């Protein structure tokens, strides 16, 4: 990739929308590389790390978080104009995040459920990925992103090659690492087969099923997997639906799975006991 | 720096930072002084709410543990811990002592990572006059490298136990989905031992920093355990005699959505108003339970009293806790024998489960109602920053006389520094705080 | 007066008329005449009644179509041996593009009204010519499809 | 009934069998360790029997057995103290002979200078303990694939040579076993150094190699009794009976290859998640991909070869798309390769009937069911096709230096390189080189001219790697491997008329053909070059085109797809230049290179103009990574395009040419 000035370092910004900050923290968690990174990039805007501010233009802009409130709509368009390469980082920015579960629900009920005065809360009815609004040049998946993939992307930026963000199943990583399949070996439902790898197969390595935080891989046969989950292992349709209703639920084809399997009815507290009166009772309806 | 002076009349000054930097999440600072008196002091929060208390409804306890971690990328373990203990308390799960030790070790990892991050990358630049640790590295490369080594030691410890440092995956009701082998932990011991030495230097370094003048008598609240420095367990105590089960936070405190600030503040029901949680509160209330290494260093600094009264000195408290977390982590590793099973079996039962643990930033309370099907029906999550928010605003008022004679820009930086002393975690706070004062009519 | 024998020989050598029964070939030669054009000379124009149908013997014809604001675009060139003006024998008998000679052109063309009448009245002739016209049109169609695929276009590459 | 009194003393014959007491198994382990070997064997980890490093008999599974079915694996306790009372688990031995990740080389770029240094391994001395018959067969298959052909994998050879194999006879079977069908088991018959049959009191030990005999001599064994021998044989015979013969292999290759359009492919793709588990669990699958491991400066890079899978969408991707874009294509590819075209390529089956792909398919797809549904048993003899050999190649990148660059078109450059491997001087027309810059994936680039001391490469900057190559300047270096692939069959063109049809950068691999013809003009008849490009500006080698058509006596016809008024030549697709031609095709041969769709149209037009399929040659583009038929990416039916091609006749390709998803 070429940049404005010959010999100049790429000017980098890191901004956030609705998110937990974990992905931008991953930048600061590159303990071994951080001081080398700042020698290859001019970090001109990164509020979590520096008080020095800039409004761009950026050669590379890392965007964390989902578009989730009215002001975000204009802000992302404006930021897109001010950067050459826009990289979304993490499940919120690439898939809408866990907060996108409200996209199936009743937004007003959501607000009222948490806030005593919902009329003061300004959020959009849906939490959506950045790519729903502007052109995205590259994306780092994951909740949070993987530090190795982040370094790979930075390296690709420096060397000008295509980042090797390989689109294959988590299973591939499991098998290479000699991790025993938790579905076959233990009967634990696992989304690894339909999820893009990059995490290093953490969940199966830790004895549990993948929960899809890197999002669906290309041509993910989520429907086939959902049928298998329902047919084997004594699971209800709702159980299967909740498997897909995770941190990347709003990405197709997981989104269709959640919808086809009944949406998020369970989140509306059907069958729930009455709300408790004590503690923060006044903060709920 | 985004401090601007807005003349509003002959003797009115506005100290304003529209977007606080080097804090977690998006917030603003506003202090208006007229005729030498503070007429407005606020920590504005404009982070977008994400409705976690609703997102967890309908989910199983283990799903909730995964979900609430996402409230905060810096202290996900704190959220997992308060949640897992709340459920285990409700279900009557007795965890293996080795699992209890591993939970503590996991928390040590988070404290190390979070405190090292805050001390060096977010806070120290204030004291030394830099805009960031990156800029600071130009003059103090070795110091920043050491900070990164400590931070890495904490992150790596979390990685061993939970797969990754941000949003680790192994915490489950009843234990862990997988526990480490002895050799995995032992392999990390040298890095922790090296970091412990660096942390000791950190205590001395932070104690030598110029502390801006500040004095107030806070009411402090934290967990306290008879045998150990508080992490996952203990009773909720205060400097003025509160003493509660960790599940009973709601008996003494409540949150309300205050229209004036459109923020859910936590406050004491006894009418005594604001209180302080976090490293300074813990050091005040549990210094005697610190690891001997940390306790001695605290004594060496002679700053115990300053930590109580001067919020700027919380950086020293954080450094002392950094030492503690590293020393305790090493002890836990040395004594570690894997549990017979990583997880004990449990059965859901309907009812209310609640618990409080000590996040790096202070007391974190969770409360869940679980229905007959084993799903969460309602949730309440009270993070430390919401409990501290009233204290922050009160301290802005206290700080005002000290800064009013300084040049405007310097004064604003000083106020920002004071806010950063709390290590506010706005992403955490936001799922229940409102964002925009100006949209209110 | 045309030399019908020479014309017949030329016709038989072309792909279009090769292999016709002798009587049919004679009948066709009877409707044919030599035709030549200079480079740049327009043979017919898009949309006009189609009156010129023939086989290129030497030279090349450019088929063009007019795109507003871009001017005439060459969509295809016709090589020796190929037919041009097939719309002369296909209703509604209007030219589908404009044709311009781009090299000195020698061709054999058929009298439009004559060949239409002959094909209506002479089943043998029609039966022999229509498949050949169909082949010509289908080749044109296939070539056009391949052109549409734009096989040599540069891949649209994003930053990565 | 055997009633003879067993001999209670004496040594076994040289090969055995001897009887080793249960308590003496540790002696064998000690002997192997004393030989400097690390022991790899079965051990229970996390509820599964995996192969891992073991240090003592205690590490072996005691008294357990496995219960396996499609998509399911559980361990059960079994009575007694048997150490091998189960079949195969998820691990296969290729983890050690053909590891999941291997560093190939390290490259650095320092200004102009580029260096590649091959990474050499010193593999550990290993002993495999407990390999089953199907696994010995799998080792033999990989031996054949990775070191039995013209090109070999040096890493595999080194690792394999350091392995000593102690085999074990199966005493039970899983529901997923079908070694009986594949002819690989359950009896252990060869391919081992020592083999064990577990009996109540100990093991029958048989030697299968010199190393095995030496070990056997040092073991505290006595001669086995006839009853023991009979007992061991009866156990394995019982296993054979248990398994039965679920798949009829006779004629399977042809039955399967005749069903490329079977609706079942689409049906199984509804269930298949294309996760790739089957391929990585398979003990014979050998497909790999190359990953660049670079530091932040990009100046130091390593190439790492990793296990890859034909089930990943990107596996068969080239610029512009994937040749197997649909899941059904990828499932068909896997099954037809494993059970069909593997025979064409390696003269053996790719499947050993171990059943791993069935058990470890997370959604329980059973290849036996799929085979029986798609290619039900009828008897046909398999046809073995000989593969033409191609030129030898080095196994490492050598660096070559750019001595000239020429901008052919706005996005295409011809680089003249010198200092290439001497093998290039012997290279032939149509061959390609794997070209690499440190940190970038190596790419196959056709050689567009051969010089005495170098080559020319014409490169279109379409992606980051090709852009970086196209941007090279004089004195810059680049890494090369080659020449690779086969040649245009110019010998068949001698005395014939030659038609060359090409488009765009497709002229590059044909330029050496034209060079050869011009140098030996009288040996060939009429030579017609039909060349198409997108626009006049996209025509390559314009000065040469002019010269070829005038001075060099070639009949050159050019056409473009779109042109401004300044262009007076033909406009239209290249086939139009000769689809009216009435020519004498009886002695004609055709070489075609261009986008695959263009080649299809050309081949069909040529056929219509009388050029037979056996004399129409095309050069194919597929995803090539290793260049020598060892990584699997470029597989096309029974061919590896890099090794068996890239030049093929239309007759050779048959109906796979232009078929979707092959």
Q: D144 and D32: one domain?
A: yes
Q: Is C101 helix (H, G, I), strand (E, B) or coil?
A: strand
Token duo for residue B131: 């805009």
Chain A segment 66-105 residues within 8 A of D by beta carbon are none
For residue A107, tell me if it sits in a domain. yes
Q: A31 and A152: one domain?
A: yes
pLDDT of chain C, 160 residues: tens digit per residue: 456 777 878 877 777 777 888 888 888 888 889 999 999 999 999 889 999 999 998 999 999 888 877 777 888 898 888 889 999 998 889 998 899 999 999 999 998 899 999 989 998 889 988 998 898 888 888 888 888 888 887 665 555 5
For residue D644, tell me if it sits in a domain. no
Q: Does C156 touch chain A (CB under 8 A)?
A: no
How many domains, in total, are found in chain B?
1
For residue D626, tell me if it sits in a domain. no
Token pair 């296969």 is at which residue?
Answer: D92
The C-alpha atoms of residue A195 and residue B419 are separated, in whole angstroms, by 41
Give the whole-number percent of chain C exceeding pLDDT 70: 94
Q: Does A189 touch chain D (CB under 8 A)?
A: no
Token duo for residue A2: 């070429």
Q: Is the pLDDT of residue D392 over 50?
A: no
Q: Which of D74, D362, D465 sits opposite A161 (nearest CB)?
A: D465
Q: A146 and A32: one domain?
A: yes
Q: A142 and A34: one domain?
A: yes
**What angle, rounded to 10 degrees, do the helices at C112-121 and C123-149 form?**
120
Q: Which residues contact A94 (CB under 8 A, 6 or more apart)?
A: A88, A129, A130, A131, A139, A140, A141, A215, A248, A251
What is the DSSP code string of D34-48?
Answer: HTTPEEEEEEEETTE
Report pLDDT for B441.
28
CA-based R_g, chain C, Å:
17
- Among A159, A184, A219, the domain boundary falls at A159
Q: Report chain C residues whose CB lies below 8 A from the CB of A62.
A: none
The H or E element containing residue B204 is helix B182-207
Helices within chain A (DSSP H only): 22-28, 34-40, 70-81, 90-95, 107-114, 147-159, 170-177, 182-186, 202-205, 222-231, 237-244, 254-260
pLDDT of chain B, 441 residues: tens digit per residue: 344 454 555 577 777 777 766 667 777 888 888 877 888 887 777 777 788 888 899 999 999 999 999 999 999 999 999 999 999 999 999 999 999 999 999 999 999 999 999 999 888 888 888 888 888 998 999 999 999 999 999 999 999 999 999 999 999 999 999 999 999 999 999 999 999 999 999 999 999 998 888 888 889 999 999 999 999 999 999 999 999 999 999 999 988 765 544 456 788 888 777 899 999 999 999 999 999 999 999 999 999 999 999 999 999 999 999 999 999 999 999 999 999 999 999 999 999 999 999 999 999 999 999 999 999 999 999 999 888 888 888 888 888 888 878 888 888 888 888 888 888 776 655 443 332 222 222
For residue A283, tell me if it sits in a domain. no
Report pLDDT for B428.
59
Q: Decide which of A228 and D8 is more confident.
A: A228
Choose from A154, A168, A233 for mutation: most chain D CBs within 10 A.
Answer: A168
CA atoms within 13 A on the CB side of B376: 28
Neighbours of A166 (CB within 10 A): 19
Helices within D171-225 (DSSP H only): 179-182, 210-218
- By C-alpha distance, the chain D residue nearest C143 is D573
Examine chains A and C and say if they touch (3+ CB pairs below 8 A).
Answer: yes
Q: Which of B48, B113, B432 sits opposite A69 (nearest CB)?
A: B48
Q: Which of D319, D565, D575 sits opposite C143 (nearest CB)?
A: D575
Q: A216 and A84: one domain?
A: no
Average pLDDT, chain A: 86
Token duo for residue D634: 């470029």
Report pLDDT for A113.
61
CA-based R_g, chain D, Å:
29
Q: Report chain D residues whose CB lies below 8 A from the CB of A186.
A: 47
The C-alpha atoms of residue B369 and residue B382 are separated, in whole angstroms, by 15
Mode of pairing for the β-strands spanning D163-168 and D126-131? parallel
The C-alpha atoms of residue A69 and residue A82 are separated, in whole angstroms, by 21
- Give the C:D interface size as CB pairs under 8 Å: 79
The C-alpha atoms of residue A38 and residue A41 are separated, in whole angstroms, by 5
Token duo for residue D558: 């050019």
Report pLDDT for D439.
85
Q: Does C159 touch chain A (CB under 8 A)?
A: yes
The C-alpha atoms of residue D358 and residue D340 are separated, in whole angstroms, by 18
- Among A115, A130, A159, the domain boundary falls at A159
Token duo for residue D505: 């950068």
For residue B439, tell me if it sits in a domain. no
pLDDT band, very low/low/confident/very high, at A107 (cuts 50, 70, 90): low
Q: Which of C139, C151, C154 sits opposite D595 (nearest CB)?
A: C151
Subunits close to A (at least 3 CB pairs below 8 A)? B, C, D
Distance from CA of C153 to the nearest CA of A (A): 21
For position B348, which CATH number holds?
1.10.645.10
Note the Cα A139 to chain centre separation in Å. Answer: 10
Class in CATH terms, C4-147: mainly beta
Report pLDDT for A4.
40
Tell me the helix, strand and coil percentages in chain A, rounded to 5.
40, 15, 45
CA atoms within 13 A on the CB side of B65: 23
| Domain extent at residue A153 | 11-159
Backbone angles phi, psi at A62, to 5 degrees: -95, 125
For residue B421, tell me if it sits in a domain. no
Mode of pairing for the β-strands spanning D588-593 and D497-503? parallel
Chain-chain contact of D312 with A169 (C-beta, under 8 angstroms): yes
Q: D66 and D147: one domain?
A: yes
- Among D225, D243, D261, the domain boundary falls at D243
Report pLDDT for B10.
52
Q: Decide which of D344 and A112 is more confident.
A: D344
- pLDDT one-digit tens code per residue, D599-645: 999 999 999 889 999 999 999 988 888 888 888 899 998 899 998 99
Q: D289 and D404: one domain?
A: no
Q: Report chain D residues whose CB lies below 8 A from the CB of A167.
A: 312-314
For residue D234, tell me if it sits in a domain. yes
Report pLDDT for D385.
34
Choose from B29, B49, B65 for mutation: most chain A CBs within 10 A.
Answer: B49
Give the whole-number percent of chain A exceeding pLDDT 70: 85
Report pLDDT for A11.
94
Q: A175 and A153: one domain?
A: no
Q: Does A49 touch chain C (CB under 8 A)?
A: no
The C-alpha atoms of residue B102 and residue B336 are separated, in whole angstroms, by 8
Subunits close to D (at least 3 CB pairs below 8 A)? A, C
Helix then strand count (H, E) for chain D reads 21, 30
Report pLDDT for C154.
67
Least confident of A207-221, D282-296, D347-361: D282-296
Q: Is the pLDDT of residue D380 over 70?
A: no
pLDDT band, very low/low/confident/very high, at A277 (cuts 50, 70, 90): very low
Q: D330 and D361: one domain?
A: yes
- By C-alpha distance, the chain D residue nearest A193 is D275
Domain residue ranges in chain C: 4-147
Chain-chain contact of A117 with B250 (C-beta, under 8 angstroms): no
Q: Mean of the pLDDT values across residues A127-147?
A: 96
Q: Is D459 helix (H, G, I), strand (E, B) or coil?
A: strand
Average pLDDT, chain D: 89
Q: Is the peptide bond before D186 cis (omega within 30 degrees of 0)?
A: yes
Closest CA to A43 of B131, B85, C45: B131
Distance from CA of C81 to the nearest CA of D (A): 6
CA-based R_g, chain A, Å:
20
Choose from C62, C74, C100, C156 for mutation: most chain D CBs within 10 A.
Answer: C74
The C-alpha atoms of residue D408 and residue D507 are separated, in whole angstroms, by 12
Distance from CA of D192 to the nearest CA of C (A): 49
Backbone angles phi, psi at A83, to 5 degrees: -135, 150
Closest CA to A23 of A1, A46, A53: A46
Closest CA to B313 of B184, B127, B53: B127
Report pLDDT for A269.
53
Neighbours of D7 (CB within 10 A): 12
Distance from CA of A112 to the nearest CA of C (A): 43
Backbone angles phi, psi at B7, to 5 degrees: -65, 125
Token duo for residue D135: 């696994």
| Domain extent at residue D232 | 18-104+119-243
Q: Does C157 touch chain A (CB under 8 A)?
A: no
For residue B422, tell me if it sits in a domain. no
Chain-chain contact of D48 with A180 (C-beta, under 8 angstroms): yes
For residue B64, tell me if it sits in a domain. yes
How many domains, in total, are found in chain D?
4
- Among A159, A191, A219, the domain boundary falls at A159
- By C-alpha distance, the chain A residue nearest C158 is A137
- pLDDT one-digit tens code per residue, C65-84: 888 777 778 888 988 888 89
Q: D558 and D477: one domain?
A: no
Mode of pairing for the β-strands spanning D616-619 and D588-593? parallel
Q: Which residues contact D408 (CB under 8 A, 6 or more apart)?
A: D414, D458, D540, D541
pLDDT band, very low/low/confident/very high, at D7 (cuts 50, 70, 90): very low
| Domain extent at residue B323 | 52-388
How many domains, in total, are found in chain A?
2
As a whole number of Å, the end-to-end CA separation of chain A is: 53
Report pLDDT for B15.
77
Closest CA to B388 of B363, B415, B414: B363
Q: A254 and A137: one domain?
A: no
Q: Is the dihedral of CA D17, D19, D22, D24 positive or negative?
A: negative
- By C-alpha distance, the chain C residue nearest A153 is C160
Q: A214 and A190: one domain?
A: yes
Report pLDDT for B1.
39
């Amino acid at each position: 990739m070429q940049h404005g000035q010959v010999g100049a370092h790429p000017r980098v910004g890191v901004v956030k929308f609705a998110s937990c900050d974990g992905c931008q923290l991953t930048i600061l968690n590159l303990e071994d590389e951080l001081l080398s990174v700042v020698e290859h990039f001019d970090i001109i805007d990164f509020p979590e790390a520096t008080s020095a501010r800039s409004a761009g233009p950026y050669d590379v802009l890392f965007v964390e978080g989902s578009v989730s409130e009215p002001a975000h709509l204009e802000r992302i368009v404006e930021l897109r104009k001010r950067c050459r390469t826009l990289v979304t980082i993490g499940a919120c920015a690439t898939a809408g995040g866990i907060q996108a579960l409200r996209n199936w629900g009743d937004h007003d009920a959501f607000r009222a459920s948490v806030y005593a005065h919902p009329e003061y809360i300004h959020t959009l009815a849906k939490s959506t990925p950045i790519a729903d609004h502007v052109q995205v040049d590259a994306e780092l998946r994951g909740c949070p992103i993987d530090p190795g993939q982040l370094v790979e992307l930075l390296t690709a930026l420096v060397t000008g090659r295509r980042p090797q963000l390989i689109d294959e199943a988590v299973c591939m990583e499991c098998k290479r690492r000699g991790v025993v399949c938790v579905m076959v070996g233990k009967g634990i439902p696992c989304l690894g087969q339909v999820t893009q790898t990059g995490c290093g197969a953490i969940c199966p390595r830790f004895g549990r099923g993948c929960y899809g935080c890197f999002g669906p891989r290309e041509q993910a046969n989520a429907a086939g997997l959902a049928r298998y989950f329902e047919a084997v292992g004594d699971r209800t349709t709702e159980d299967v639906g909740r498997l897909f209703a995770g941190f990347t639920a709003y990405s197709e084809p997981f989104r269709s799975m959640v919808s086809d399997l009944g949406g998020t009815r369970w989140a509306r507290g059907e069958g729930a006991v009455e709300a408790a009166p004590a503690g923060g009772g006044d903060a709920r309806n | 720096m985004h401090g601007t002076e807005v003349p509003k009349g002959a003797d009115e000054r506005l100290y304003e930072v529209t977007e606080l930097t080097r804090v977690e999440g998006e917030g603003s600072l506003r202090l208006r002084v007229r005729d030498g008196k503070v007429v407005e002091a606020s920590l504005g929060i404009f982070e977008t709410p994400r409705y976690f208390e609703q997102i967890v409804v309908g989910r199983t306890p283990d799903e909730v543990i995964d979900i609430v971690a996402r409230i905060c990328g810096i202290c996900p373990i704190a959220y997992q811990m308060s949640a897992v203990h709340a459920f285990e308390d409700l279900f009557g799960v007795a965890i293996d002592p080795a699992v209890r030790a591993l939970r503590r070790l996991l928390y040590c990892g988070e404290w190390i990572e979070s405190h090292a991050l805050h001390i060096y990358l977010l806070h120290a630049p204030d004291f030394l006059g830099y805009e960031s640790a990156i800029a600071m590295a130009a003059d103090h490369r070795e110091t920043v490298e050491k900070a990164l080594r400590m931070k890495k030691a904490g992150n790596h410890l979390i990685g061993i136990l939970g797969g990754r440092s941000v949003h680790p995956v192994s915490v489950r009701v009843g234990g862990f989905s997988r526990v480490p082998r002895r050799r995995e932990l032992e392999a990390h011991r040298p890095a922790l031992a090296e970091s412990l030495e660096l942390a000791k230097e950190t205590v001395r370094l932070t104690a030598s920093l110029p502390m801006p003048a500040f004095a107030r008598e806070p009411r402090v609240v934290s967990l306290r355990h008879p045998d150990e420095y508080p992490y996952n367990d203990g009773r909720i105590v205060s400097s003025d005699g509160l003493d509660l089960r960790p599940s009973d936070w709601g008996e003494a405190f409540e949150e309300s959505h205050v229209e004036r600030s459109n923020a859910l503040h936590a406050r004491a029901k006894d009418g005594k108003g604001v209180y302080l949680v976090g490293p300074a509160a813990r050091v005040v209330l549990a210094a005697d339970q610190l690891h001997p290494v940390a306790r001695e260093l605290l004594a060496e600094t002679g700053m115990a009293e300053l930590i109580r009264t001067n919020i700027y000195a919380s950086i020293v408290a954080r450094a002392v806790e950094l030492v503690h977390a590293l020393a305790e982590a090493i002890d836990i590793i040395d004594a570690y024998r894997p549990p017979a099973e990583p997880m004990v079996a449990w059965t859901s039962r309907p009812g209310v489960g609640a618990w409080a643990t000590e996040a790096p930033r202070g007391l974190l309370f969770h409360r869940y109602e679980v229905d007959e099907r084993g799903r969460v029906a309602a949730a309440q999550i009270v993070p430390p920053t919401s409990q501290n928010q009233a204290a922050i605003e009160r301290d802005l008022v206290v700080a005002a006389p000290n800064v009013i004679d300084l040049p405007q820009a310097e004064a604003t930086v000083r106020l920002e520094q004071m806010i950063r002393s709390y290590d506010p975690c706005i992403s955490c706070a936001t799922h229940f705080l409102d964002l925009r004062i100006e949209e209110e009519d | 007066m045309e030399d019908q024998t020479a014309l017949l020989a030329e016709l038989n050598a072309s792909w279009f008329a090769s292999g016709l029964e002798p009587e049919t070939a004679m009948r066709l030669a009877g409707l044919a005449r030599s035709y030549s054009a200079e480079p740049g000379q327009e043979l017919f124009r898009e949309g006009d009644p189609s009156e010129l149908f023939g086989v290129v013997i030497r030279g090349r014809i450019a088929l063009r179509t007019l795109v507003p604001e871009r001017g005439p675009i060459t969509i295809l060139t016709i090589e020796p041996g190929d037919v041009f003006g097939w719309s002369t024998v296909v209703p509604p008998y209007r030219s589908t593009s404009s044709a311009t000679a781009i090299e000195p052109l020698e061709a054999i063309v058929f009298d439009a009204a004559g060949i239409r009448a002959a094909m209506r009245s002479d089943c043998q002739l029609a039966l022999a010519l229509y498949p050949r016209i169909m082949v010509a049109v289908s080749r044109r169609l296939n070539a056009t499809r391949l052109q549409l695929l734009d096989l040599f276009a540069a891949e649209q590459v994003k930053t990565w | 009934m055997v009633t003879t009194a067993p001999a209670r003393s004496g040594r076994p014959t040289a090969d055995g069998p001897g009887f080793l007491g249960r308590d003496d198994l540790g002696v064998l382990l000690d002997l192997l360790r004393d030989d400097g070997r690390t022991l790899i064997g079965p051990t229970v980890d996390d509820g599964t029997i995996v192969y891992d490093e073991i240090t003592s008999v205690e590490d072996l599974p005691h008294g357990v057995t496995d219960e396996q079915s499609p998509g399911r694996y559980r361990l059960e306790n079994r009575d007694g103290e048997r150490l091998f009372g189960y079949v195969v688990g998820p691990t296969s031995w290729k983890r050690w002979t053909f590891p999941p990740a291997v560093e190939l080389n390290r490259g650095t770029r320092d200004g102009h200078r580029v260096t590649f240094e091959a990474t050499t391994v010193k593999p550990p001395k290993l002993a495999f303990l407990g390999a089953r018959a199907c696994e010995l067969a799998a080792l033999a298959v990989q031996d054949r694939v990775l070191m039995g052909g013209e090109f070999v994998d040096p890493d595999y050879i080194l690792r394999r040579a350091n392995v000593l194999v102690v085999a074990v006879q199966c005493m039970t079977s899983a529901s997923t076993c079908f070694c009986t069908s594949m002819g690989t088991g359950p009896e252990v018959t060869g391919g081992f150094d020592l083999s064990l049959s577990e009996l109540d009191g100990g093991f029958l030990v048989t030697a299968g190699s010199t190393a095995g005999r030496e070990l056997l001599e040092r073991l505290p064994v006595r001669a086995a009794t006839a009853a023991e021998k009979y007992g061991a044989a009866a156990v394995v015979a019982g296993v054979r009976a248990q398994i039965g013969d679920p798949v009829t292999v006779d004629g399977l290759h042809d039955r399967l290859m005749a069903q490329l359009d079977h609706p079942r492919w689409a049906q199984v793709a509804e269930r298949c998640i294309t996760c790739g588990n089957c391929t990585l669990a398979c003990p014979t699958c050998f497909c790999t991909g190359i990953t660049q491991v670079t530091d932040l400066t990009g100046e130091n890079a390593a190439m790492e070869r990793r296990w890859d899978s034909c089930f990943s969408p990107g596996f068969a991707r080239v610029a512009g798309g994937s040749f197997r874009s649909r899941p059904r294509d990828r499932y068909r590819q896997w099954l037809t390769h494993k059970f069909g075209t593997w025979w064409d390529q390696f003269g053996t089956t790719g499947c050993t009937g171990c059943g791993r792909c069935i058990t470890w398919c997370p959604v329980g797809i059973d290849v036996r069911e799929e085979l029986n549904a798609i290619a039900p048993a009828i008897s046909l003899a398999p046809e073995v096709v000989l593969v033409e050999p191609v030129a030898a190649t080095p196994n490492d990148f050598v660096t070559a230096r750019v001595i000239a660059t020429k901008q052919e078109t706005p996005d295409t450059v011809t680089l003249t390189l010198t200092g290439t491997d001497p093998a290039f001087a012997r290279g032939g027309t149509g061959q390609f080189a794997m070209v690499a810059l440190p940190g970038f994936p190596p790419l196959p680039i056709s050689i567009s001219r051969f010089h005495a001391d170098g080559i020319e490469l014409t490169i279109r900057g379409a992606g980051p790697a090709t852009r970086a190559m196209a941007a090279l300047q004089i004195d810059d270096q680049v890494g090369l491997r080659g020449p690779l692939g086969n040649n245009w069959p110019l010998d068949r063109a001698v005395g014939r008329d030659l038609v060359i049809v090409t488009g765009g950068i497709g002229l590059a691999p044909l330029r050496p053909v034209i060079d050869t013809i011009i140098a030996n003009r009288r040996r060939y008849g009429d030579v017609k070059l039909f060349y198409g490009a997108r626009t006049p500006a996209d025509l390559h080698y314009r000065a040469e085109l002019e010269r070829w058509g005038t001075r060099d006596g070639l009949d050159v016809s050019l056409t473009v797809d779109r042109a401004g008024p300044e262009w007076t030549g033909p406009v239209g697709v290249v086939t139009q230049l000769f689809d009216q031609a009435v020519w004498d095709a009886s002695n004609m041969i055709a070489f075609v290179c261009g986008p695959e769709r263009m080649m299809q149209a050309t081949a069909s037009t040529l056929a219509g103009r009388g050029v037979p399929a056996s004399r129409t040659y095309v050069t194919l583009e597929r995803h090539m990574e290793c260049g020598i038929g060892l990584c699997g990416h470029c597989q096309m039916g029974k061919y590896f395009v890099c090794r068996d091609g890239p030049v093929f006749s239309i007759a050779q390709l048959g109906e796979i040419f232009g078929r979707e998803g092959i």
